[in-house]
Amino acid sequence: MRSTRATARAGLSLAATLPLLAGALALGTPAAHAADGSGRHSLAGTKPVWAKSSADKGAAGDSSKVSVRVYLAGRDAAGLQAYARAVSDPDSASYGKYLSAKEADARYGATKAQVESVTHWLKSAGLTVTGTTRHYLSVTGDVAAVEKAFGTQLHNYAKGGKTYRAPAADATVPAALDGAVLTVTGLDNAPHKASHSDTLPPPDAVFRNSGPFSSYYGSNTATSLPKAYGQKIPYAVKGYTGKQLRAAYGAGKATGKGVTVAITDAYASPTIAADAATYAGKHGDASYKRGQLNQVLPSEYTRTEECGAAGWYGEETLDVEAVHAVAPKADIVYVGAASCYDNDLLDSLGKIVDGHLADIVSNSWGDIEANQTPALAAAYDQVFQLGAIEGIGFYFSSGDNGDEVDNTGTKQVDTPANSAWVTAVGGTSLAVGKHDKYLWETGWGTRRAALSDDGRSWADFPGAFTSGAGGGTSRTVAQPYYQRGVVPKSLAKANGTAAPMRTVPDISAVGDPNTGFKVGQTQAFPDGSYRYSEYRIGGTSLAAPVIAGVQALAQQERGGRAIGFANPAIYDRYGSKVYHDVVDRPTGKDLAVARVDFANSLDASEGLITSVRSLGKDSSLKAVRGYDPVTGVGSPAGGYVSSFKRR
């Protein structure tokens, strides 16, 4: 499964979000390993849901090469999940009693004997073990050897107009391994995985915003443009800065000092240090101290063209600058993945956990739930659980395509935001007024209509849905305990299931690019030069690092003690004044802003495009009083940061 990102420049948003699980995965429930009566254990979910008999195109060639990862279950997979829950629950006697990375490995990691037995089994089947980590063994071999090892046949299947290899039944492993194997990934090859190594490309072509702008919400009314919803509307803000976001989300005097935030994305911007320093200097953020921004990068990169490597530079830049804007004295470590594929992104997350590089991890990437497999979900959840017992919390953007119907034709959520072990961050449209006063938020959902040719009306107002915060109900992940009594049953059972399911997001912050954040980045100009330039950006890729920054402030306020996996604490505060309860019509009226954009994304030489962007119109999702599938429990308000002092 490939992870994706979407830039929100001219009218979309900058974010991404990940895959879907085909079997209900509940918080605290280990991956299924059922004996099949033949002395082998089944690894449930290793056959993709799309590998159906009706799409079967026959057996894969025996000599074709296959590369897989065999994930190790460790000493006590069930115990790991149980302790991860206990240590994260404010009502548990074990709350906050975190383990070091070394202690976590000693208690729950794979033993030497487990690694040796798994290695022996794989080699005896004719496979080659190419690498061993704390979490998995990398293995290669031909189809015949893989089929022998995993007790299943590999066939070719039609999927989306293409043909991919996949197992015809769930993989099995010898019962004699005594539960040492958690799962195996790579038995299917959708999409095709390249293996060559590339160097990173230069930055993408420049993007700039036109004006007029508002400097704060409502400061500049578009008096010459038609009304929308019966009233004159303001121009979109030029882009909020740290001072405005800190005021909106109740930062107070906290700065994040003594806290480290990690950021994961693919690849690495070659100009991030200079861009971040320039941006901080221009917008009143604290200057970076020596060693405050660090990068942990792979030795080589792959699939740079397929993954759009240069596009990820903007993602990293947004994430770094947003965290620093909200928590200006927090340390930041950027952990870049070698590509946008799950194996590489998982490796980045694993580095953070294995080395305990940070207590807070912001992740602005993902994919649709339908593309996930239970095998991958199990691999991700193991990393998240190990992080939880070390006091590490993972924050994932919920996606930028609302309920995903316009994008995929199917109503679904994104992953890993759907995991019961991460904090899913939704998006809002934010109004910060004069003197940095918080005015209101709506759920982020945009409809766009262009100015008519005669300039007297908006054509087809309010226009088509363009983007919005991802959210809704998972089809594969069971409802975690912390959502009980908070998420309405009508949402938890929205897919017609008998049992309630995981609903996202959990919390939210500004995401709408029309009320977005100003970011500064080195870009490629038409004359061939590379220069620093600024533009407004948004998406739940903005919301995730903003919340990560707020969590850094909260951790500082509790004396630096790690918050860890935050969802139990977030839901524990539900309904209190520490949240803005976000609704779609906070003023009692429908809301919109006017935007003027360069037709060529650079200057006015090829004309301007004027449009109206409606706020609070997120596909079929609605932001209402209480918990909702756009903003979760709401956004942080004054008192949220200081509330962590008490526990």
Higher pLDDT, 32 or 480: 480
CA distance 562 to 257: 13
Scored b (16 or more CB within 10 A) or e, 70-93 reads bbbbbbebeebbebbbbbbbeeee
Domain ranges of the chain: 242-643
What does the alpha-carbon distance between residue 170 and residue 165 come to, in Å, rounded to a whole number?
A: 14
* Banded pLDDT at 194 (limits 50, 70, 90): very low
Does residue 1 register a pLDDT over 80?
A: no
> Concatenated DSSP letters for 344-376?
HHHHHHHHHHHHT--SEEEE--BEEGGG--HHH
CA distances from 255 to 13, 242, 246, 295, 552 (A): 28, 11, 10, 21, 8
For domain 242-643, the CATH superfamily is Peptidase S8/S53 domain (3.40.50.200)
Residue 298: CB atoms within 10 Å: 18
- pLDDT tens figures, 423-436: 999 999 999 999 99
Residue-averaged pLDDT of the chain: 92
Return d(Cα 27, Cα 100) in angstroms, integer.
22
Q: Please report the pLDDT score of residue 204 as a whole number.
A: 87
pLDDT for the residue numbered 8:
40
What pTM value is reported for the model? 0.93
What pLDDT is attached to residue 38? 65
pLDDT for 188 beyond 50: yes
What digits encode the pLDDT tens for the residues 232-252?
A: 999 999 999 999 999 999 999
* pLDDT tens figures, 600-625: 999 999 999 999 999 999 999 999 99
Percent of the chain with pLDDT over 90: 88
DSSP-derived 3-state class of residue 503: strand
> Which residues are CB-neighbours of 436 under 8 A, at least 6 positions away?
216, 243, 244, 247, 248
Helix H or strand E segment including 273:
helix 272-282
Mean of the pLDDT values across residues 195-205? Answer: 64
